[in-house]
Chains A and B, each alone.
Chain A
Amino acid sequence: MSMSMVVSNSYLDSILKGQPQLPPSSTTWFNQLRAHALEQAGTLQVPTTRDEEWRFTDISPLTRLPLRPSHAISAPQVTDVKRFQLDDTTIRLVFVDGAFMPHLSSRLEGSEHEGLVVTDLSVAVATHASVIEPHLGRLAGFENNLFAALNTAYLHHGALIIVSRNAKIQKPVHVLFIATQAGTAIHPRCLLIAQGGSEVTLVEDYVALQDEAYVTNAVTEIALENNARVNHVRVQRDSMEAFHIANCAVSVAHASCYRSVSVALGGRISRYDLNARLEAEGAECFIDGLALIKGRQLADTHTCIDHAKPPGTSRQSHKCIVDGAAHAVFNGKILVRAGALRTDSAQSSRNLLLSARARVDTKPQLEIFADDVKCAHGATVGQLDHEELFYLRSRGLAETAARNLLTYAFGAEIIDRIPIASLKYQLEQIVLEQTEKTGP
């Protein structure tokens, strides 16, 4: 059996068939990267629950989804997507079923965008090759990661954000991925490069126009150079029937600070892998997450905070609110490498089960190879507190209203950390609505 271009199963076959023929890029390294990724994808298997990293997450339903090529559709108009826009910003990149939509995206003009490049990757590989090449496909390795390999193999359109040295971008950059077609596989891609001393907020946002089954397979790469600060907000509100697989790789350089809040609401099955590597002294990361799921949803978050150099700081709070027969998974690895002395790390995993059939599997995973480190971690799984419920009801609130309010409060701590008022408000409304629909 030839190992080179043989796809490992019919699922991959269908994914490959599902892709439009990519236009060849004039940039050789880019073509090579894609070819290498495609080759790599051919050697990898779809993970099963026999793989430790996928123990709780059976993605076999994903492989049974009949995929077809996404066909040219009449692109949505501004009015169709207006509800997804954020009031706080005009800096916007919009992709529909993976394709860049210039007419829905903003053009950067004026001095407030000085030092900021926000553009479609397929154009920029030629114009910004020297900046992109050291990072693209290198931060998010695909040697052992089928989904990252597939995404890279189909690299074409994508979001590219470059913040020049010392530029402080006040308004958030909103990258909106809109899914519109059933039965398609979409491979969204983001690359953010924050050069030395720069500051930026990125909102990575996945939405759907309809409740249909499709596959989102996203890869995001974020490079923070020395003294950079990045706020990364990720909102996964894919369709309730969708499959959402995402890999995010972050490198945090000397004295730079990465803050991330990820919120998972949608998807029949969703999986988010976040790898943050603290590469140099004084690097910090703050990684928070919230999964709010119900029905038969499964939401799996795997994070790895890699303390490679001393002294680094990391803080992580992950919360899951699970209703119906839904299943949440959290695996939070903290790796402290030999020599990463005086690492200061704290992780908490708190989970709220709203029904008897709801389930959560949470696993803190500390791997420490250095001395003189502080690594605190804790996990709790609980239900709504009866005394709190009684207190609210004794003030006239109906039982469902009381439950919703307490559920909302549990998640609010994470949502509050999103530094964008309009997005915070949108999410608060979604959480309130979702809890209202599910009720007791």
Chain B
Amino acid sequence: MIREGSRILLEVRGLRAVVNGIEILKGIDLTVRSGEVHAIMGTNGSGKSTFAKVLAGHSAYQVTGGSVLFEGRDLFDLSPEERARAGVFLAFQYPIEIPGVANSHFLRLAYNTVQAQRGKEELDPLEFEDFVRDKMKLLEMNPEFLDRGVNEGFSGGEKKRNEILQMALLEPRLAILDETDSGLDIDALRIVTTGVNKLSTADNAIILVTHYQRMLNYIVPDFVHVMRAGQIIKTGGKELALDLETRGYDWVGAEQPAMAGA
């Protein structure tokens, strides 16, 4: 929700990044304030997921220009774990399976690490069990997923729920959901988006990266940004997503060409 005088959480200016020597991000500008929901849309290869991973600190992407401030701090001074502890959260498009690490163990480690950083109380396994089961209800997750390996053998929908469960536990300031809707059937989409909505507050912000408008029926964005060729080429309100749904992406570029020299 857009509020007068809300704090700036994220300030991206002229961000450029390369992977394997190929420039993917070609000057991104974006400002996100607390309480806001931003949707970043665009076709495959437009750079949306790269943008998400650069914000989270993936080492395969090399930042070559621009700046990103998170709550006033230079994000690029922080390692991935420091970003997570500071309150940046990336829900992965393809969550990683880690056989041999019990999901409950992983969730508790992550939770306690972030709690310790924030000077808050850590939970022992028994306390955590109660705490996490409560959070799982939010996502209608079966507690048996605690005993399995991290994402091991989870269906696509179960993996996405597990991602949002982590968001619920870590309570990030800025949550970046990378194609969280992909691979979800309609019931799972409803459950996951309901969960995200419950986690959305006036103090945090959400960036939704998605191809499709359908998730935005459930999580209503304050801003919709269209990416193409590594830039945000158009920004509008929630109605822009509906236009994209009916008209496709082609008209956007024709109406408002990318800035010269990009």
Q: Tell me how far the C-beta of B59 lies from the nearest C-beta in chain A, rounded to whole angstroms.
A: 7
Given that A399-B79, A399-B81 are contacting pairs, would A394 and B100 also be in contact in the complex, using a CB cutoff of 8 Å?
no
A333 to B170, CA, bound (A): 49
| Chain B residues with CB under 8 A of A413 | 99-100
| Chain A residues with CB under 8 A of B149 | 409
Given that A401-B109, A401-B113, A405-B106 are contacting pairs, would A394 and B98 also be in contact in the complex, using a CB cutoff of 8 Å?
no
A362 to B92, CA, bound (A): 36
Are B81 and A412 in contact, with the CB atoms below 8 A?
no
Interface: A390 (CB within 8 A): yes
Count of A interface residues, CB-CB < 8 Å: 24
Are B98 and A396 in contact, with the CB atoms below 8 A?
no
| Chain A residues with CB under 8 A of B177 | none
Taking a contact as CB atoms closer than 8 A, the residue among B92, B95, B114 that contacts A396 in the complex is B114
| Chain B residues with CB under 8 A of A406 | 98, 101
Interface string of A397-418 (1 = CB under 8 A from B): 1110110011011111100000
Are A388 and B84 in contact, with the CB atoms below 8 A?
no
Which of B95, B110, B166 neighbours the largest number of chain A CB atoms within 10 Å of its CB? B110
Q: Tell me how far the C-beta of B226 lies from the nearest C-beta in chain A, rounded to whole angstroms.
A: 26
Given that A391-B92, A396-B85 are contacting pairs, would A409 and B109 also be in contact in the complex, using a CB cutoff of 8 Å?
no
Interface string of B82-117 (1 = CB under 8 A from A): 011100011010011011110000100110011001
Q: Tell me how far the C-beta of B71 lies from the nearest C-beta in chain A, rounded to whole angstroms.
A: 16
Interface: A135 (CB within 8 A): no
| Chain B residues with CB under 8 A of A337 | none
Taking a contact as CB atoms closer than 8 A, the residue among B57, B101, B109, B117 that contacts A394 in the complex is B57
Interface: B56 (CB within 8 A): yes
Interface: A64 (CB within 8 A): no
Are B101 and A393 in contact, with the CB atoms below 8 A?
no
Interface: A386 (CB within 8 A): yes
Are A397 and B57 in contact, with the CB atoms below 8 A?
no
Are A395 and B170 in contact, with the CB atoms below 8 A?
yes
Closest to A385 in B: B96
Taking a contact as CB atoms closer than 8 A, the residue among B56, B83, B101 that contacts A405 in the complex is B101
Count of B interface residues, CB-CB < 8 Å: 29
Q: Tell me how far the C-beta of A267 lies from the nearest C-beta in chain B, rounded to whole angstroms.
A: 25
Q: Tell me how far the C-beta of B70 lies from the nearest C-beta in chain A, rounded to whole angstroms.
A: 14
Interface: B58 (CB within 8 A): yes
Are B81 and A393 in contact, with the CB atoms below 8 A?
yes
Q: Which of B58-90 contact A (CB under 8 A)?
A: 58-60, 79-81, 83-85, 89-90
A399 to B83, CA, bound (A): 13
Taking a contact as CB atoms closer than 8 A, the residue among B58, B83, B96, B113 that contacts A388 in the complex is B96
Are A391 and B96 in contact, with the CB atoms below 8 A?
yes
Are A408 and B84 in contact, with the CB atoms below 8 A?
no
| Chain B residues with CB under 8 A of A398 | 81, 113
| Chain B residues with CB under 8 A of A411 | 100
Interface: A52 (CB within 8 A): no
Are A409 and B100 in contact, with the CB atoms below 8 A?
yes
| Chain A residues with CB under 8 A of B99 | 409, 413
Are A393 and B113 in contact, with the CB atoms below 8 A?
no
Q: Which of B190-247 contact A (CB under 8 A)?
A: none
A411 to B101, CA, bound (A): 10
Closest to B100 in A: A409
Are A391 and B117 in contact, with the CB atoms below 8 A?
no
Are A390 and B101 in contact, with the CB atoms below 8 A?
no
Are B90 and A409 in contact, with the CB atoms below 8 A?
no
Are A390 and B59 in contact, with the CB atoms below 8 A?
yes
Q: Tell me how far the C-beta of B56 lies from the nearest C-beta in chain A, rounded to whole angstroms.
A: 5
| Chain A residues with CB under 8 A of B110 | 392, 395-397
| Chain B residues with CB under 8 A of A410 | 100
| Chain A residues with CB under 8 A of B113 | 395-398, 401
Are A393 and B84 in contact, with the CB atoms below 8 A?
yes
Interface: A387 (CB within 8 A): yes
Given that A396-B117, A397-B109 are contacting pairs, would A408 and B100 also be in contact in the complex, using a CB cutoff of 8 Å?
yes
A412 to B89, CA, bound (A): 28
| Chain B residues with CB under 8 A of A395 | 84, 106, 109-110, 113-114, 166, 170
A46 to B92, CA, bound (A): 56
A386 to B53, CA, bound (A): 14
Are A394 and B56 in contact, with the CB atoms below 8 A?
yes
A206 to B1, CA, bound (A): 64
| Chain B residues with CB under 8 A of A392 | 98, 106, 110
A199 to B240, CA, bound (A): 71
Q: Tell me how far the C-beta of B173 lies from the nearest C-beta in chain A, rounded to whole angstroms.
A: 13
Taking a contact as CB atoms closer than 8 A, the residue among B80, B85, B100, B106 that contacts A390 in the complex is B80
| Chain A residues with CB under 8 A of B109 | 395, 397, 401, 405
Closest to A406 in B: B98
Closest to B94 in A: A387
Q: Tell me how far the C-beta of A328 lies from the nearest C-beta in chain B, rounded to whole angstroms.
A: 19
Q: Tell me how far the C-beta of A401 lies from the nearest C-beta in chain B, rounded to whole angstroms.
A: 7
A13 to B109, CA, bound (A): 55
Closest to A405 in B: B101
Q: Tell me how far the C-beta of B155 lies from the nearest C-beta in chain A, rounded to whole angstroms.
A: 18
| Chain B residues with CB under 8 A of A412 | 100-101
Q: Which of A403-440 contact B (CB under 8 A)?
A: 405-406, 408-413
A394 to B57, CA, bound (A): 8
Given that A396-B85, A396-B113, A409-B101 are contacting pairs, would A391 and B95 also be in contact in the complex, using a CB cutoff of 8 Å?
yes
A218 to B56, CA, bound (A): 52
Taking a contact as CB atoms closer than 8 A, the residue among A385, A396, A408 that contacts B81 in the complex is A396
Closest to A410 in B: B100
| Chain B residues with CB under 8 A of A396 | 81, 84-85, 110, 113-114, 117, 170
Closest to A391 in B: B96
Are B59 and A394 in contact, with the CB atoms below 8 A?
no
Are B98 and A391 in contact, with the CB atoms below 8 A?
yes
| Chain B residues with CB under 8 A of A409 | 98-101, 149
A/B interface sample: 22 pairs, CB < 8 A:
A385-B96, A386-B60, A387-B96, A392-B98, A393-B84, A394-B92, A395-B84, A395-B113, A395-B166, A395-B170, A396-B113, A396-B114, A397-B110, A398-B81, A399-B81, A401-B109, A405-B106, A406-B98, A408-B100, A409-B101, A410-B100, A412-B101
| 4 further A-B pairs in the complex, CB-CB below 8 A; given A394-B56, A396-B117 | A386-B60, A393-B81, A396-B170, A408-B100
Binding site for B on A (CB under 8 A): 385-388, 390-399, 401-402, 405-406, 408-413
In the A-B complex, list the 4 residue pairs whose CB atoms are closest, starting with the nearest.
A409-B100, A395-B110, A396-B84, A393-B80
